């Protein structure tokens, strides 16, 4: 029926529906839309606000962080053993993290789907069987290839270095239509060009009668006789958006899509016990390299993310282009005081490239004292050894392209490194905590599988042992992917929705 806000509502809210979907991000919006289009009555509950393109155009990055990102972007894992502290960013808004993506779209690699089919008891997920779901999602997301004429100079320089080092970049595919290349993707698109799910999916659900409620935090799934019968929580209508009036939704089916960070917490709070719940979270730990060239690079001109390399897939590394607003890059430049100013002044000459590790699940989501979880991450030995490799690969590629100096993601480094200093630098001997590491891809904390003892949900996203309760977000992916996950999450969510409607 409509987009509704509970922000100013003081009276309790009670609704009845066929299906209630908790979370409006990549997974939740997909399930809600597919079911609404099949004639189901759908209610979507989202704890974030609804923010539109006009708002994105008005807000500077520091404002977006407050309004669109969870905890202003400061969420992080607690490192265990020789692991880095990983800054894990997520969206908290109608559209979820989908709203803050760089728009990069990958299908799940066939090798990963084969592994799910073979080793996780999921023959339904073999590549040929998943192809129709990817086709369907790509059609609605308007996935297009970023041709090299839209690559930034920063990306072309990395490609020149790649060619000299024996590999080449390939064009990325993105869910955009009419992208102006303004580089604001991670703060929400002011041009309505990025087809995040708040634009590409939820309006279609609403057109079919779905209600999408913002400022609604779900605290628990209501159970009766081993069956999910709805959810309860609070409207975030108190002072400064704190919990206010009571929220109850009666539903025949419940779908949790709160992300791999929050879905396991909600399941636990609702009485679901399973030894795999909240465990083996993968993150795709990511690193970025800055490089200074003599020429004016002006890396902000062109598509923010446009190319990648899978040349090091066998080593578990994927390299992906990126560029972020200069104010944010400035804050990450080395040095303090005058040295920092000197480096930040060279912004026009800076190029940037990133890379991520196809990691084993080392994360565990645990209940914290309040609403927020404690999340610890023990990096597997194999992945730990990949950190210096990815840093060297990124730096060497820029140096091969003629960079004067590079700025590796090492905390405490006071200046850039020229080629000699970079090659001499003991990255292998550094403690993991010295590396600046971030993730945008938490996955796998309520994974699907064929074996009830090893997985939290069955192949159709049904929580084992509870009728009427489904999960359809990044939690259900059984392994990391080695590529950006939004399309995989949406393809799996599409499959779950189609199976639900029978």
Ligand X SMILES: Cc1cc2nc3c(=O)[nH]c(=O)nc-3n(C[C@H](O)[C@H](O)[C@H](O)COP(=O)(O)OP(=O)(O)OC[C@H]3O[C@@H](n4cnc5c(N)ncnc54)[C@H](O)[C@@H]3O)c2cc1C
Among 41, 48, 397, 432, the residue binding ligand X under the rule CB under 6 A is 48
Residue 13 CA: distances (Å) to CA of 28, 202, 262, 301: 21, 21, 23, 47
The answer to whether residue 466 forms part of the interface with ligand SF4 (CB under 6 A) is no
Residue 183 interface partner, choices ligand SF4, ligand X, none, CB cut-off 5-8 Å depending on type: ligand SF4
**Separation of CA 71 from chain center:** 15
The answer to whether residue 15 forms part of the interface with ligand X (CB under 6 A) is no
Beta-carbon-side half-sphere exposure of residue 365 (alpha carbons within 13 Å): 28
Residue 96 interface partner, choices ligand X, ligand SF4, none, CB cut-off 5-8 Å depending on type: ligand X
CA separation for the pair 475, 462 (Å, rounded): 12
The answer to whether residue 99 forms part of the interface with ligand SF4 (CB under 6 A) is no
CA separation for the pair 317, 312 (Å, rounded): 5
> Of the listed pieces 134-142, 245-253, 389-397, 480-488, which binds ligand X according to CB under 6 A?
480-488
DSSP string covering 121-170? S-GGGSHHHHHHHHHHHHHHHTEEE--GGGS-HHHHHHHHHHHHHT---E
Among 249, 257, 291, 469, the residue binding ligand X under the rule CB under 6 A is 257
DSSP state of 480: -
Specify whether 441 is catalytic.
yes
Cβ-contact 222, 232 below 8 angstroms: yes
Measured from the CB atom, the residue of 175 and 397 that comes closer to ligand SF4 is: 175
Tokens of 394: 């990124």
Residue 286 interface partner, choices ligand X, ligand SF4, none, CB cut-off 5-8 Å depending on type: none
Residues ≥6 apart with Cβ < 8 Å to 39: 208
**Separation of CA 463 from chain center:** 23
CB count, 10 Å around CB of 248? 14
The answer to whether residue 91 forms part of the interface with ligand SF4 (CB under 6 A) is no
Backbone angles phi, psi at 266, to 5 degrees: -65, -40
The answer to whether residue 472 forms part of the interface with ligand SF4 (CB under 6 A) is no
CA dihedral sign, ordered 373, 277, 25, 212: negative
Measured from the CB atom, the residue of 191 and 232 that comes closer to ligand SF4 is: 191
Q: Of residues 95-134, which lie at the interface with ligand X (CB under 6 A)?
A: 96-98, 100-104
Residue 461 interface partner, choices ligand X, ligand SF4, none, CB cut-off 5-8 Å depending on type: none
Among 21, 76, 193, 266, the residue binding ligand X under the rule CB under 6 A is 266
Rounded least distance, CB 486 to ligand SF4, Å? 14
CA separation for the pair 199, 204 (Å, rounded): 9
The answer to whether residue 299 forms part of the interface with ligand SF4 (CB under 6 A) is no
Measured from the CB atom, the residue of 308 and 422 that comes closer to ligand X is: 308
User: In the stretch 439-458, what mask flags binding to ligand X with x, by CB under 6 A?
Assistant: -xx-----------------
CA separation for the pair 368, 208 (Å, rounded): 39
331: β partners = none
CA separation for the pair 251, 306 (Å, rounded): 42
Residue 484 interface partner, choices ligand X, ligand SF4, none, CB cut-off 5-8 Å depending on type: ligand X
Rounded least distance, CB 286 to ligand SF4, Å? 19
Q: How are beta strands 350-357 and 317-321 bridged, if at all?
A: antiparallel
Rounded least distance, CB 232 to ligand SF4, Å? 37
The answer to whether residue 258 forms part of the interface with ligand X (CB under 6 A) is yes
The answer to whether residue 22 forms part of the interface with ligand X (CB under 6 A) is yes
Measured from the CB atom, the residue of 179 and 390 that comes closer to ligand SF4 is: 179
Residue 106: which region, alpha, beta or left (left: phi > 0; alpha: psi -120 to 50)?
Answer: beta
The answer to whether residue 184 forms part of the interface with ligand X (CB under 6 A) is no
DSSP string covering 15-50? EEEEEEEE--SHHHHHHHHHHHTTT--EEEE-SSB-
Tokens of 137: 């999602």
Cβ-contact 494, 133 below 8 angstroms: yes
Measured from the CB atom, the residue of 219 and 467 that comes closer to ligand X is: 219
Alpha helices in 414-456 (DSSP H): 419-424
Residues ≥6 apart with Cβ < 8 Å to 413: 334, 407
Rounded least distance, CB 12 to ligand X, Å? 16
The answer to whether residue 26 forms part of the interface with ligand X (CB under 6 A) is yes
The answer to whether residue 494 forms part of the interface with ligand X (CB under 6 A) is no
Q: Of residues 156-195, which lie at the interface with ligand SF4 (CB under 6 A)?
A: 176, 179-185, 189, 191, 193-194
Q: How many chain residues interact with ligand SF4 (CB under 6 A)?
A: 14
Residue 121 interface partner, choices ligand SF4, ligand X, none, CB cut-off 5-8 Å depending on type: none
Q: Of residues 372-431, which lie at the interface with ligand X (CB under 6 A)?
A: none
Catalytic residue among 140, 215, 441, 470: 441
> Of the listed pieces 2-10, 344-352, 451-459, 485-493, which binds ligand X according to CB under 6 A?
485-493
**Positions marked active-site:** 441
Where along the sequence are the contacts to ligand X (CB under 6 A)? 22-28, 45-48, 89-93, 96-98, 100-104, 186, 217-218, 257-260, 262, 266, 440-441, 473-474, 484-487, 489
Positions touching ligand SF4 (CB under 6 A) are 103, 176, 179-185, 189, 191, 193-194, 304
């Amino acid at each position: 029926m409509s987009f509704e806000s509970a922000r100013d509502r003081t009276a309790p809210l009670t609704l009845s529906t066929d299906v209630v979907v908790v979370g409006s991000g990549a997974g939740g919006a997909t399930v809600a839309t597919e079911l609404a289009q099949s004639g189901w009555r759908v209610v979507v509950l989202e704890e974030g606000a609804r923010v539109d393109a006009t708002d994105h155009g008005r807000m500077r990055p520091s404002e977006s962080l407050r309004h669109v990102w969870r905890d202003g972007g400061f969420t992080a894992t607690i490192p265990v053993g020789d692991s880095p502290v990983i800054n894990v960013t997520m969206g908290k808004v109608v559209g979820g993290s989908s709203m803050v993506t760089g728009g990069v779209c990958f299908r799940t690699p066939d090798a990963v789907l084969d592994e799910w089919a073979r080793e996780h008891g999921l023959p339904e997920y073999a590549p040929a069987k998943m192809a129709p779901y990817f086709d369907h999602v790509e059609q609605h997301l308007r996935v297009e290839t970023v041709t090299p004429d839209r690559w930034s100079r920063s990306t072309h320089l990395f490609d020149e270095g790649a060619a000299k080092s024996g590999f080449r970049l390939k064009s990325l595919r993105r869910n955009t239509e009419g992208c102006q290349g303004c580089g604001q993707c991670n703060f929400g698109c002011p041009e309505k060009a990025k087809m995040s799910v708040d634009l590409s999916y939820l309006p279609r659900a609403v057109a079919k009668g779905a209600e999408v409620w913002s400022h609604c935090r779900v605290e628990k799934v209501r159970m009766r006789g081993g069956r999910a019968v709805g959810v309860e929580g609070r409207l975030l209508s108190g002072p400064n958006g704190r919990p206010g009036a009571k929220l109850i939704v009666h539903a025949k089916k419940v779908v949790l899509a709160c992300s791999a960070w929050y879905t396991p917490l909600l399941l636990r709070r609702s009485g679901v016990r399973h030894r795999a719940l909240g465990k083996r979270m993968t993150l795709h730990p990511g690193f970025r390299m800055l490089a200074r060239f003599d020429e004016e690079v002006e890396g902000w001109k062109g598509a923010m993310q446009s190319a990648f390399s899978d040349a090091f897939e066998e080593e578990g590394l994927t390299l992906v282009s990126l560029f972020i607003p200069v104010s944010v890059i400035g804050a990450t430049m080395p040095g303090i005081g005058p040295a920092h100013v000197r480096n930040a002044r060279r912004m026009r000459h800076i190029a940037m490239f990133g890379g991520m590790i196809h990691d084993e699940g080392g994360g565990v989501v645990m209940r914290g004292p309040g609403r927020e979880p404690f999340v610890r991450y023990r990096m597997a030995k194999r992945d730990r050894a990949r950190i210096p490799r990815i840093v060297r690969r990124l730096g060497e590629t820029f140096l091969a392209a003629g960079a004067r100096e590079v700025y590796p993601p090492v905390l405490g480094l006071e200046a850039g490194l020229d080629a000699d200093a970079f090659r001499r630098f003991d990255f292998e001997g550094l403690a993991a905590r010295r590396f600046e590491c971030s993730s945008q891809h938490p996955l796998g904390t309520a994974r699907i599988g064929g074996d009830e003892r090893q997985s939290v949900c069955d192949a159709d996203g049904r929580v084992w042992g509870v009728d009427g309760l489904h999960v359809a977000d990044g939690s259900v992916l059984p392994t990391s992917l080695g590529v950006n996950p939004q399309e995989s999450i949406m393809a799996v969510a599409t499959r779950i929705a189609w199976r639900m409607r029978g």
